Amino acid sequence: MVLKDRFNRYLTHLRISVTMKCNYDCIYCHREGETFKEDFLRVRDIGIVCKAATLHGIKYYKITGGEPLVRSDILEIVSVIKENVSGEISMTTNGYFLEDYIPAILDAGLKRVNVSLPSLKESNYLRITKRKGLNKVLRGLDIAVSYGVPIKLNVVVTKYNFNELTSIIEYASSKGFDINLIELIPVNISPEIFRDLYVSIDGVEKEVMDKAKKRYIRDLQARPVYVLDTGVKIEFIKSFCNPIFCNKCSKIRLTHDGFLKPCIMRNDNVVDIRSILRADFSDDKKILMIYEKIKETNMKREPYFRYRGNKCVSVDGRYIRER
């Protein structure tokens, strides 16, 4: 039975942050809304949580970080998730190590990959990521294509790369990659950085809409998707001060330090499962206990942004915007 929260939203997705470590230092990184602490999750822990999650009908498992591929045991992590779930396993990565892990990570059970690609210009890529990694990422993408891996490019749109969006879309179309165009959110970055980097993607959506042959709305977070003549899908992710997005959220998060997190925007309502994972209990008992903790986490879920008159407000009062 799939869980519903108090707002009648289904729970179908679990994001698993396996580490806060990363070989990049991107200027806008939100780190899944988490704080820097020592990595806590062991391979066995992740398998236990995923088993409890699949008993609740959770179907989609996304491995995140930090950068997941910096963990030396990442193949074991993918394998243990595969052993314990019946749903789809995917990963989000900066792509730097992708060429080193294809095809082994596919053999372990990975089905899809989201790769961050903020720029196709080496100098701009370096400016955004603080790493000279563009060519290595592009090689990894080509290798992934040769193995038939479904790829989606994650493009966080900022003032630094806004003028490159046309060329990124053309590149994606030439390779058969779908694209997430992601509006910047003010999570784990300073207000000054957010102000200096933020740019609306409404105008880009209008341009893509005019060129698309088809448009539909994904059930996940009510994301609009546009299908180009090439068959490439461009998905627009606009979560900040967007109650429509929040009203269709179906995710919880397993943090790298051992908590269940109902919302990326908040750290005041997390559910601690560390003591369960480290207790001297059988795996079966731990699964049953975490099964209950997932229910508790689900009941803490609520849309972070809501409409109040002509304004969008956050539940904690941190953000207010005119509609």
Domain locations in the chain as residue ranges = 13-322
Q: Quickly state the pLDDT bin for 8 (edges 50, 70, 90).
A: very high
Q: 311 in helix, strand or coil?
A: strand
pLDDT tens-digit map of 198-225: 999 999 999 999 999 999 999 999 999 9
pLDDT tens-digit map of 22-72: 999 999 999 999 988 899 999 999 999 999 999 999 999 999 999 999 999
Which among 214, 293, 291, 313 has a CA at the least distance from the CA of 52?
291
pLDDT at 232 over 80: yes
Question: 22 with 56: CB under 8 angstroms?
Answer: no
pLDDT tens-digit map of 167-192: 999 999 999 999 999 999 999 999 99
Q: Quickly state the pLDDT bin for 323 (edges 50, 70, 90).
A: confident
Q: Residues 249, 250, 256, 258: is their CA dihedral positive or negative?
A: positive
Percentage above 90 pLDDT, the chain:
98
pLDDT at 274 over 80: yes
Is the CATH number 3.20.20.70 carried by domain 13-322?
yes
Burial (CB < 10 A; 0-12, 13-18, 19+), residue 57, is middle
CA distances from 198 to 27, 94, 192 (A): 12, 21, 10
pLDDT tens-digit map of 187-198: 999 999 999 999
CA 13, distance to chain mean position in Å, is: 10
Q: Report if pTM > 0.85.
A: yes
**What local confidence, expressed as pLDDT, does residue 1 receive?**
78
Q: Quickly state the pLDDT bin for 299 (edges 50, 70, 90).
A: very high
**What local confidence, expressed as pLDDT, does residue 159 receive?**
97
